[in-house]
Amino acid sequence: MLLVWPIALPLSTAVLCLIAWHSPRVQRALNAAGSLGLLVASIAIITRVLDEGPVAAQMGSWPAPFGITLVADILSAAMVLITGIIAVACAVYGWAEVGAGEERNGHHALTQALLGGVCGAFVTGDIFNMYVWFEVLLIASFGLMVVGGGKAQLDAAVKYVGLNLIATLAFLTGVGLLYGAAGTLNMADLHLTLAGRQGETAIFSAAAMLMFAFGAKAAMFPAFFWLPASYHTPSVTTSALFSALLTKVGVYAMIRAFTIVFDTSEPAIQNTLLYGSAITMVVGVLGAAAQMHVRRILSFHIISQIGYMILGLAIYTPLGLVGAIFYLFHHIIVKANLFLIAGVIGRSTGSEELTDIGGLWKRKPWLGVLFLIPALSLAGVPPLSGFWAKLLIILAALEEERYFIAFVAVLVGFLTLYSMSKIWMEAFWKAHPGGDDAAARPASYWLYLPIITLALMTVFIGLNAQPFVEAAFASAEQVLQPDAYIAAVARASEAAELGLTFESPAASGVPAEAAPTPVEPIENPTGPPEPEDPLR
């Protein structure tokens, strides 16, 4: 089954890396091969989804909503694809950055386990298994954070795990409330079961618990303190991987849950997300402006940019959701690249403290250009990808007459430009306090390959934004009108009852008479429940 590969490949690679624990060179090769295999599998999945629409599969021949469901629509397939891209970039960068001690202590095995957990969260079709994959990636990320064994890393890991365990408890509580009220945790089934029941106390309580849990995972205000306290402590490769993926899993889960399961148009939910996202943007960018450590600045900017993504969901219009999805993809590439560049800055100057470094423009002007591309994109300067992402969000806010929110989004963009300019002026423009001969480690050319690749992707998306925006529109349409998603799960469920391996009628060989009747379009998602549940 195609949907199994993004989970099976990383987890199998993790086991092989553990077997080869005595040989860092073998582990390095396995990590690269596993990441490349994940990228190939993700390309196959998104090609299938774009050709045939959402695909689904049931594990162990158990029908939905009782069995484990894997589903891929454009959103989840694209998230798996971008995970594969970042995995390969970090694997290449890690060849020259991750030390042999970290490799022997499980860096590569934990990285692959993290990738398996991330991909599992993206393709799962039910809330409980999303919880399971969150736990997998939490355990793997904790291991990666402490693998170096330094005091700063252990201190950061305690803060990281402490708040994430609280979020996990809220997640599990929300899952329990949801199951008690609906009798199912399959997201397609929940969409039908909860129609017209969003105002019930148990449903609303479950929504509140899951909103807090996903918001904490995404580093949304007020549960964001763990991120700036921890992301600057591990290896740069690990920081880049974390910055690209961990918070985005929380954003993805929130988008998925608060479209297909819960109704975001409910005033209490919408207002909480709307004003919570605005505060998140402001707090994050002000925190970044106050820092003088490169990776700390970038960590606070993750919080700020998460606010934009949640804002797109909170506006809850097609344009708003398109902006959130486009922003999600753009930010993964840009933020990972900035963290990778931060590692080169540290190696080239001997520190990541802006007060202790400088002179890079004179010594390495090409690094300055590579920094400016993602930095200006993060701030939303045209014609880079970040400009289009911010523009879509701001236009969606203006379209809904949310003028104050639109003003906040524009202001945060200018403040982002200020903090990026601070890095530029301190690290590149001013002279190094220690002189031109200040001690620093040389930066390997392997470090530049993923940086250049991700920078070119940022420029390409910015200059050719239309097809990517159209893909975001198609993704948003599937999320807001999940009939095709539900129908794919229904077909996979019936195939499981027939004892067939199934992902779509065209590929599985299921006879036409065996395929279930497609689900009728849902005209009013908040109206009365459908008379028949196609998943049962």
Find the length of the chain.
Answer: 536
Return d(Cα 434, Cα 322) in angstroms, integer: 48
- Tell me the mean pLDDT in the region 297-304: 92
Q: Residues 513-531: what's their mean pLDDT?
A: 40
199: helix, strand or coil: coil
Mean pLDDT, residues 364-369 taken together: 88
| pLDDT at residue 347, rounded to an integer | 85
pLDDT at 149: 65
At 417, is the pLDDT very low, low, confident or very high (cuts 50, 70, 90)?
very high
478-493 as b/e: b if 16+ CB within 10 A: bbbebebbbbbbbbbb
Contact 104, 24 (CB under 8 A): yes
What is the rounded end-to-end Cα distance, in angstroms, of the chain? 23
Q: What is the mean pLDDT of residues 364-375?
A: 91
Task: Fill in the amino acid letter for 290.
Answer: A
- pLDDT score of 515: 39
Per-residue pLDDT at 533 exceeds 70? no
Q: Are 298 and 403 in contact (CB under 8 A)?
A: no
More confident residue, 333 or 446: 333
Q: What number is the average pLDDT over the span 177-189?
A: 89
Residue 24 pLDDT: 86
Tens of pLDDT, residues 307-335: 999 999 999 899 999 999 999 999 999 99
Tokens for 248?
Answer: 């985005």
Q: What's the mean pLDDT in 413-419?
A: 91
Which two three-digit tokens encode residue 28?
Answer: 């390095």
Q: Quick one: average pLDDT of 477-501?
A: 78
Per-residue b or e along 25-51, where b marks 16 or more CB atoms closer than 10 Å to that residue's CB:
ebbbbbbbebbbbbbebbeebbebbee
Question: Residue 492: CA atoms inside 13 Å, Cβ hemisphere, count?
Answer: 31
The residue-averaged pLDDT of 517-524 equals: 38
* Average pLDDT over all residues of the chain: 85
- Give me the mean pLDDT over the 206-216 stretch: 92
Please state, in angstroms and rounded to a whole number, the distance separating the CA atoms of residues 529 and 523.
Answer: 11
Residue range 380-396: mean pLDDT, rounded: 91
Mean pLDDT within 190-217 = 88
Q: Is it the case that residue 518 has pLDDT exceeding 50?
A: no
Using the predicted structure, report yes or no on whether residue 163 has a pLDDT greater than 90: no
Element (H, E) at 488: helix 483-497
Distances (CA, A) of 212 to 106, 164, 205, 234, 269: 32, 11, 11, 26, 11
Which residues make Cβ contacts (< 8 Å) with residue 341, sequence separation at least 6?
367, 370, 371, 374, 451
Q: In the chain, what percentage of residues exceed pLDDT 70?
A: 90
CA distances from 78 to 74, 228, 410 (A): 6, 27, 27
pLDDT at 49: 93
CB burial string 344-374: b at 16+ within 10 A, e below: bbbbbbbbbbbebbbbbbebbeebbebbbbb
Of the candidates 497, 492, 513, 480, the residue with the CA atom closest to the CA atom of residue 55? 492
CA 263 to chain centre: 22
Q: Looking at residue 529, what is its pLDDT?
A: 43
- Torsion angles phi and psi, residue 427, rounded to 5: -85, -35
pLDDT for 61 beyond 90:
no
In this structure, what are the phi and psi dihedrals at residue 69, rounded to the nearest 5 degrees? -110, 135
Instruction: Tell me the pLDDT tens digit for each residue of 105-119.
Output: 888 999 999 999 999
Q: How far apart are the C-alpha atoms of 26 and 28, rounded to whole Å?
A: 5
Q: What is the structure's pLDDT at 443?
A: 63
**CA gap 26, 20 in Å, rounded:** 7
Out of 159-168, 396-405, 506-515, pick the least confident: 506-515
With contact defined as beta carbons under 8 Å apart, do 73 and 82 qualify? no
CB 222 within 8 Å of CB 306? no
Which among 19-23, 62-66, 99-103 has the top mean pLDDT? Answer: 19-23
Contact criterion met (CB below 8 Å) for 186 and 126: yes
Judge whether residue 264 has pLDDT over 50: yes
Continuous segment of H or E residues that includes residue 201: helix 201-217
Indicate if the pLDDT at residue 238 is higher than 50.
yes
Does an H or E element contain 30, and which? helix 24-52
Neighbour tally for 198: CB within 10 Å: 18
Q: Tell me: the pLDDT tens digits for 269-283?
A: 899 999 999 999 999
Q: Report the C-alpha gap between 209 and 186 in whole angstroms.
A: 18
The CA distance from 292 to 303, in Å, is 17
How much is the pLDDT for 130? 92
Lowest mean pLDDT among 149-163, 192-206, 226-240, 243-257: 149-163
Q: What would the two tokens of residue 334 be?
A: 């840009």
The Cα–Cα gap between 393 and 312 comes to 6
Q: How many helices (H) and strands (E) does the chain have?
A: 21, 2
Which of these ranges, 169-173, 191-195, 387-391, 451-455, has the smallest mean pLDDT? 191-195
> Which pLDDT belongs to residue 498?
63
Check: CB of residue 485 under 8 Å from CB of residue 474: no
Cα 72–Cα 60–Cα 258 angle in degrees, nearest 5? 35
